[in-house]
């Protein structure tokens, strides 16, 4: 009865750990990539005001004109370039779905980083493409020669993510310029997932779109303002692509939630620097502690994840050991073709992080 495509996609390993956490008494949850702070009060009030004033109907498929204008202006200021078009999506995940629907045909090859955000691989498979992984181990940097060696006449897209989930890697200007060069010379389109743009700790955020106009920029409010459940993102890029994505949104998501779009206008006026500074301190605490405990680990430049190497065994075996001590972490093979690492999310209260670090110290004695 079910289609073959459903059998190509496994249930999310992240969700499996999340569900497991519901059965563990007083778990130390360092598994879920969700900000530990609440939606800003000003943004909550804007959403409530929108609902109570009756702004609950469908919006235009491409989103509120006022929000599109704000998003486009902000992106143009930060990237130093003009965008032909923009639209509001149901989170970056919704933007990825629409982009893959519009761009990926049967047999197309899509270059994805390894490690990767879980959706990349499965969405490419879902729409009949073939994910081809460019290896970023051991330091999670982009090496142009690895990408160039994988390109064939079937290569359609390169997916880039910076700051990245699950590694927290932030790509340098040189790396991004090299990706832009390769894509330009070989006629390949770029999809850049920049949902963690706020969380770049050691310098200003560098956007792939600053170096390539043959690029779709995806961003959103889920991580920056803790609006994960409100499903609100945006896409900017060539008008031809955005027109098709808007058409596809008509027949899938219809439009992003109306109240959330209204509230996003208030979110864009909110100063998020205190949260970025808080997560920078958490990053330093986790990284320095893991190094002290003897873990092999790269220092993440952004997002709120770190991706250490397992001290022994496979990622699944090590995660199972951690669960015995009530620590919830994600096996690295959820995000990778390897089973050698594990992901920690430090989007948590300091007390929870310290409890988790105590377990990790014990597990590597």
- Residue 12 pLDDT exceeds 90: no
Average pLDDT over the chain reads: 95
* Average pLDDT value for residue range 226-244: 97
pLDDT by residue (tens digit) across 195-207?
999 999 999 999 9
- In the chain, the DSSP E strands lie at 28-29, 85-89, 109-114, 130-135, 155-161, 189-193, 215-220, 233-237, 305-306, 327-328, 330-331, 342-345
Band of residue 1 on the pLDDT scale cut at 50, 70, 90: confident
End-to-end CA distance of the chain: 51
Check pLDDT > 90 for residue 13.
no
Which residues have CB under 8 Å from 80's CB, separation 6+? 210
| Predicted confidence (pLDDT) per residue in 26-41, tens digit | 899 999 899 999 999 9
Distance CA 317, CA 314 (A): 5
Is the pLDDT confidence value at 316 over 80? yes
pLDDT tens-digit readout, 44-78? 999 999 999 999 999 999 999 999 999 999 999 99
Residue 20 above 70 pLDDT? no
Whether pLDDT at 22 is above 70: no
**Which domains does the chain carry?**
4-39+272-363 (3.90.1150.10), 57-267 (3.40.640.10)
Classify residue 259 as exposed, middle or buried by CB count within 10 Å of its CB (0-12, 13-18, 19+).
buried
Residue 236 has pLDDT above 70, yes or no: yes
Read off the pLDDT band of 8 (50, 70, 90): confident
Report the pLDDT value the prediction gives residue 6, as an integer from 0 to 100.
79
pLDDT for residue 175 is more than 90:
yes
> Rounded mean pLDDT of 272-284?
96
Q: What would the pLDDT profile of 334-354 be if each residue is shown by its tens digit?
A: 999 999 999 999 999 999 999
What's the average model confidence in pLDDT over 283-297? 98
Position 254 pLDDT exceeds 70: yes
Q: In this predicted structure, what is the pLDDT of residue 288?
A: 98
130-135 sheet: strands from edge to edge: 85-89, 233-237, 215-220, 189-193, 155-161, 109-114, 130-135
Average pLDDT over residues 209-233: 96
- pLDDT by residue (tens digit) across 84-128? 999 999 999 999 999 999 999 999 999 999 999 999 999 999 999
pTM of the model: 0.94
Inter-residue contact 162 to 118 (CB < 8 Å): no
What is the per-residue pLDDT for 155? 98
CA distance 345 to 11: 20
- pLDDT given for residue 208 in this prediction: 98
Residue showing tokens 């864009």? 268
**Contact (Cβ atoms closer than 8 angstroms) between residue 246 and residue 61:** yes
Contact present, 249 and 62 (Cβ < 8 Å): yes
How much is the pLDDT for 258?
97
Percent of the chain at pLDDT above 70?
A: 97
CA distances from 107 to 14, 95, 127, 152, 153 (A): 28, 21, 9, 12, 11
Q: What is the tens place of the pLDDT at every residue in 134-146?
A: 999 999 999 999 9
């Amino acid at each position: 009865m079910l289609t073959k495509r459903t059998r190509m996609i496994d249930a999310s390993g992240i969700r499996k750990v999340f569900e497991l956490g519901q059965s563990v008494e007083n778990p130390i949850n360092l598994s879920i990539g969700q900000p530990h702070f609440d939606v800003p009060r000003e943004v909550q009030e804007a959403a409530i005001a929108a609902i109570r004033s009756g702004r609950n109907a469908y919006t235009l498929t491409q989103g509120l004109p006022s929000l599109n204008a704000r998003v486009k202006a902000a992106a143009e200021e930060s990237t130093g370039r003009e965008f032909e078009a923009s639209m509001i999506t149901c989170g970056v995940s919704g933007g990825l779905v629409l982009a893959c629907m519009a761009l990926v045909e049967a047999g197309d090859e899509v270059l994805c980083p390894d490690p990767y955000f879980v959706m990349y691989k499965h969405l490419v498979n879902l729409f009949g493409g073939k994910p081809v992984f460019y290896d970023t181990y051991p330091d999670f940097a982009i090496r142009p020669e690895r990408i160039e060696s994988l390109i064939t006449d079937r290569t359609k897209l390169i997916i880039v993510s910076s700051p990245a989930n699950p590694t927290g890697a932030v790509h340098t200007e040189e790396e991004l310029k090299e990706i832009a060069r390769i894509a330009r010379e070989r006629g390949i389109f770029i999809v850049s997932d920049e949902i963690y743009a706020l969380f770049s700790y050691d310098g200003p955020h560098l956007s792939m779109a600053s170096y390539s106009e043959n690029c779709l920029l995806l961003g959103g409010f889920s991580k920056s303002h803790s609006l994960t459940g409100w499903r609100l993102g945006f896409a900017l890029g060539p008008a031809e692509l955005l027109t098709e994505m808007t058409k596809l949104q008509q027949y899938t998501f219809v439009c992003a939630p109306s109240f959330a779009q209204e509230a996003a206008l208030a979110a864009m006026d909110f100063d998020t620097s205190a949260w970025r500074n808080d997560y920078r301190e958490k990053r330093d605490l986790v990284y320095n502690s893991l190094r002290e405990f003897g873990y092999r680990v790269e220092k993440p430049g952004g997002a709120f994840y770190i991706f250490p190497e397992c001290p022994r065994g496979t990622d699944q075996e090590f995660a199972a050991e951690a669960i015995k001590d009530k620590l919830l972490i994600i096996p690295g093979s959820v995000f990778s073709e390897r089973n050698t690492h594990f992901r920690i999310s430090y989007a948590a209260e300091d007390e929870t992080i310290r409890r988790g670090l105590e377990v990790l110290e014990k597990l590597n004695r």
